[in-house]
Amino acid sequence: MKRFLVFLTVLVIVGLNNSAYSSTFTFDGQQQTFYEDDPVPAIVIEEEIETEEDSAWTYRFLIPTSVAIAVLVIIGNVIQYFRQVTRKRYKVIEK
């Protein structure tokens, strides 16, 4: 029985607290609204619209040209290596 009375007391206190905090009337009897439909923020931050910028001419032309030249230099070095080093490594000796 004692537990039931404690439970009932706690339930009444929680119920009164809940209704006290959810009331929209002030002491003057005027209705007060806490939340508007569309609240205005304190600081308005406008999002910038990102537009696609054209790539710089250096990015469009110099980088692919540099890559192509680098590939040609590497291929040229491989060919030169086999022409000079491999050719001198083995010699045919005639008797």
Summarize pLDDT for 58-93 with one digit per residue, the tens. Answer: 778 888 899 999 999 999 999 999 888 877 777 777
DSSP 25: B
Tokens for 87? Answer: 């050719």
Total tally of structural domains belonging to the chain: 1
Q: Which domain holds residue 80?
A: 58-89
Greatest mean pLDDT range, 11-20, 25-34, 41-50: 41-50
pTM above 0.85, yes or no: no
Residue 83 lies in a domain: yes
Residue 65 lies in a domain: yes
Angle at 42 between CA 38 and CA 30, to 5 degrees: 55
